[in-house]
A and B are shown apart, each in its own frame.
Chain A
Amino acid sequence: MTDRPPRPQTRPHIAPGLRDVARPVVIWTLHFILVYAALSAACAERAVASYPAAVIAVSIGTPVALVLAGWGLLRRGDQPMRIAARVTIIISLLAILFNTAPVLLLDGCR
């Protein structure tokens, strides 16, 4: 019995793994918003941006997103949170490529 409670760790050991679980899907979300915004800017009535500008924005944003989401993929460990992080990263990388595919493969809004 102690007089004081065990002091909670300020950075519990699972925190990095948890961060690696959350980060890739947050990056995917931002990338999805970028692609959707670029297409909306190029393809809606207001035509805020040209279609090539949208393609350029997505082309620049995608490698950045891939690097940010993929960071930590090769980190070793078989803790549940590490496994979860690795799977989340792989799914998010695929999902980012899927977001990008229409912009790179199709030519124009229609």
Chain B
Amino acid sequence: MIDATADRPRQGPVLEELRTYEEAWATPPGWRRLSSVSHRVVGQRFIVTGLVFFLIAGFLALLVRTQLIVPENTFLDAETYNQVFTMHGTLMMFLFAIPILEGFGVYLLPLMLGARDLVFPRLGAFGYWCYLFGGLIVLASFVFDAAPDGGWFMYTPLSTKEFTPGLSADFWLIGITFAEIASVTAAVELIAAILCTRAPGMSLTKMPIFAWYMLVTAFMITVGFPPLIVGSILLEVERLIGLPFFDPALGGDPLLWQHLFWLFGHPEVYIIFLPAAGMVATMLPTFVGKPLFGYGYAVAAVVTMGFISFGLWAHHMFATGLPTITLTLFSAASTIVTIPTGVQIFCFILTLAQKRPRLTVPMHFILGFLFIFVIGGLTGVMLAAVPFNWQAHDSYFVVAHLHYVLIGGMVFPLIGAFYYWTPHFTGRMMSERLGKWAFWLMFSGFHITFFLMHITGLRGMPRRISTYPAGIGWDRLNLLSTIGSYILAAGVVVFVWDFIAHRWRGPLAPRNPWKAGTLEWLYPPIAPGHNFHAIPRVHSREPLWDQPDLLENEAHETRGLLRDAPHGRRETVGCHPLSGEPLQIVRLPHPTWIPLLTAFAVAVSFSAVLASLYDIAAAGAVAALFGFAAWAWEPSETGQTITTNDEGTLPVDVASRLGHTHIAIIGTLMIMVALFASVLFAVMFLWNVQPEFTRLAGDPDLFWTSIAVACGLGMSLVAWLARSAPMAVLDLAVALLAGVAGWALYQAVLPTDPMATALAATLWVMAGFIGTQQFVLLYWSLFLALRKVSGQVAAGQIVPEINRVPYALVTAGMLIAAAVVLAAPQLEVLK
């Protein structure tokens, strides 16, 4: 509620008559704010931290451009130059683009969907701390004079110990892998939140379009990030203990890294683009005053992009000697992805065609996005053609293309989103005048910088060179590009100044300042901690346009679910994933230090590996396990009910496959399957391209393999039985079988020497991965047994048992797949 006399935005309204309820949702004051797990706090942490990384990375870009301003410049030496452009790309791609967009998703989605918080607030907080600590590890490389210098893609063999002997690549591999935990945890959290906590009546077809974009993005992250995680682990293991994954002399292949990296790297471009396009699809109808044209077309386009974008990875590898027919396959896929992209762009253009838009600052950035991104898309089609790609490969033409796509497709919508949603964060409006200055400086500076790079590239200037000779046609183009980069940076400075200064200079934001139709503007900025005192029933995709009663009354007087259930617990409404009808009450955690402490323990573990202090690394891992146990120890509340008034009585934390924890487990299993598939891809790839190394390292033991499979199947069966008859003894049986299966798998691969060949090393990694899965089941089952023995569980509280079944089944499936892989070479001989 805005207190006009004080001229300061206030969060509220805080209802004095419901003191216990309001206090339950309040953010802890002072330093205890660090214990907050609210999506609003965590989302803002992601956004602000991402913005800081953006500014650091942007500063590094200016150093690069300054070095290239004149030929034969000595501003940076070659080694420093390599570090600067590597860190620029790394920070932008890993620590800015994805986290900041996820931050917006974390902040906005519950507000748009009609939820009081995300369903796993502690997971979100844990993910943020992992992101922060991982980012600090990467940045710390500057302090230790060991900044990575192998490019943001860390290609092998350059990044192997032989050619990069220091710690620089280790900083990159460990820091980035750690930070990626944030991305995958946020993905699982967003999937569960979007599918399970929507307002009553909000079926999938009445969901705000931004939620569709974020849902597809989250699924893409669950599948897209695991290949890089696996690749990073393989490379770090090779660097630490010498397993020869990428050593051709021992049956490895440097191209394996490229495959794994780009299996992540290409979808990542879409993972960056889609949320930003979702922001555009949300903001554009507001300024046009009409709903998005072609909602169904946009949904189809987003879903198809989410799939087809995974079929393009090798178009980054056109110059690596792949068979021509394979190149053609990837060229075809790269071409076809333009169709769903074009469908989306036409949805935006036709929305614009419905009515003259209000030319606000966010609208300027939307128009800038359309103009720039379409040009980037067109040069993308050019690069999809193999002959042109060979001509332009690794030239500044590619640099121009990727910046048109990423700055046009992500940064411009993002800045527009800042202007659009900042009133929600701070209760004040950013400046229209400064915003337009920022836009025009950025827009003109961008084109001066990057449009000219197309020409520079076509004139033959390669990427990543620290300087160039004079008089070969690159001088003036580089000079102008550098001047353009300064103009672009000036635009960013104006935006940042406005973002900071509006907190005391900006006018107070009125209720629904942009006259938007989506639910996040129901309350006057700044919305109260619980987002919705009552969660209203929704009848359309633009409830604030189509249900006038929502804005006619004070927001806290809105009728809806949970209005008459104010008490000292945090909770929100859980829904059916498809229909959106209320299904349950989801109990949510209060502020806690556990996510921070657990993430810190993991950070200690990762950092200790970097410093080769393995005892400390193990201690950190054990501490993290205790942290997770403390996290999950709370008593189950399944079986309780809450009277919600309008929608009757709803059960708390329902034990069902439609429940939020089960959906989260499915999302987690997608990550696990993608990790396993990535390892399997590595095995199959090396087996296929280096056939002479297949059996040089010894054969796995098939007896122990069959024992592992039998135990895995038995473990699944007992886990399934435990769902119907939850008893501690069955939990112990699952734990025992999981342990034996893991031990048997270890015995199975023991006869092979992982140091002898790359294929044997990948078999060990495969066994290690499944062993980890078995350990999770063992730990989980012992934990459940302990809870039962200590009287923490009442009859009917079987949510963990329901969730354990798919985990056990998928692990057993991995064991069977591993058995086939281990047995195949020996069966081939029998044939």
| Chain A residues close to B by CB (< 8 Å) | 1-6, 8-9, 12, 14-15, 18, 21-22, 25-26, 28-29, 32, 35-36, 39-41, 43-46, 48, 79-88, 91-92, 94-95, 98-99, 101-103, 106, 108-110
Contacts and interface: CB of A to CB of B under 8 A. Distances in A.
B579 A9 contact: yes
A80 B340 contact: no
26 contacts: A4-B649, A5-B583, A5-B644, A5-B650, A9-B581, A21-B300, A25-B306, A28-B308, A40-B688, A41-B688, A43-B325, A46-B689, A48-B688, A79-B296, A80-B299, A81-B296, A83-B296, A87-B300, A87-B301, A87-B304, A91-B340, A94-B339, A98-B333, A106-B325, A109-B324, A109-B325
B689 A3 contact: no
A8 B323 contact: no
A58 B660 CA distance: 40
A48 B688 CA distance: 8
A28 B301 contact: no
A84 B324 contact: no
A5 to B, nearest CB: 5
Contacts of B627: none
Interface residues of B, number: 50
B288 interface: no
Give the most central of B300, B310, B336, B658: most A CB within 10 Å: B300
A102 B332 contact: yes
A87 B582 contact: no
Contacts of A94: 336, 339
A103 to B, nearest CB: 7
A110 to B, nearest CB: 5
Given A39-B326, A46-B689, A87-B300, A81 B646 contact: no
A32 B340 CA distance: 17
B687 interface: yes
A109 to B, nearest CB: 4
Contact of A81 (B205, B579, B648): B205
Contacts of A32: 311, 333
Interface in B615-652: 644-650
Contacts of A12: 203, 576, 578-579
A2 B648 contact: yes
A16 to B, nearest CB: 11
Nearest to A107: B325
Given A21-B300, A102-B332, A81 B204 contact: yes
A4 B647 CA distance: 8
A36 B329 contact: yes
A91 B328 CA distance: 19
A91 B582 CA distance: 34
B333 A99 contact: yes
B648 A8 contact: no
B771 to A, nearest CB: 27
Across the A-B interface, the 7 shortest Cβ-Cβ residue pairs: A83-B296, A87-B300, A102-B328, A12-B579, A80-B296, A8-B576, A25-B307
Given A9-B579, A87-B301, A92-B304, A98 B688 contact: no
A98 B332 contact: yes
A105 to B, nearest CB: 8
A98 B203 CA distance: 34
Contacts of B689: 44-46
A80 B301 contact: no
Interface in B274-311: 294-297, 299-301, 303-304, 306-308, 310-311
B329 A39 contact: yes
B657 to A, nearest CB: 12
B797 interface: no
Interface string B305-345: 01110110000000000011110110111011001100100
B379 interface: no
A57 B395 CA distance: 38
Interface string B168-211: 00000000000000000000000000000000000111000000
Contacts of A110: 323-325
Contacts of B325: 39, 43, 102-103, 106, 108-110
Nearest to B308: A95
Contacts of A48: 688
Interface string B716-743: 0000000000000000000000000000
Contacts of B648: 1-6
Nearest to B585: A5
A102 B303 CA distance: 25
Nearest to A81: B205
Contact of B304 (A4, A5, A25, A109): A25
A60 to B, nearest CB: 17
A14 B304 contact: no
A87 B303 CA distance: 10
Given A45-B689, A46-B689, A83 B297 contact: yes
A91 B339 contact: yes
B690 interface: yes
A109 B579 contact: no
Given A2-B648, A106-B324, A35 B301 contact: no
Give the most central of A6, A8, A21, A83: most B CB within 10 Å: A8
Contacts of A18: 204, 578
Contacts of B310: 29
B469 interface: no
B649 A5 contact: yes
B767 to A, nearest CB: 23
Contacts of B582: 5-6, 8
B309 to A, nearest CB: 11
A21 B343 CA distance: 15
Contacts of B297: 83-84, 87
A84 B688 contact: no
Interface in B636-686: 644-650, 658
A99 B329 contact: yes
Given A46-B688, A94-B339, A3 B333 contact: no
Contacts of A108: 325
A6 B581 contact: yes
Give the most central of A1, A9, A15: most B CB within 10 Å: A1
Given A3-B648, A25-B308, A85-B300, A8 B583 contact: yes
B586 to A, nearest CB: 14
Contact of B578 (A4, A14, A36, A99): A14
A20 to B, nearest CB: 10
B165 interface: no
Given A48-B688, A80-B295, A87-B301, 15 more contacts: A4-B648, A5-B649, A8-B658, A14-B578, A22-B303, A28-B308, A39-B323, A46-B687, A84-B300, A95-B304, A98-B335, A99-B332, A102-B325, A109-B325, A109-B326
B303 A101 contact: no
A98 B582 CA distance: 43
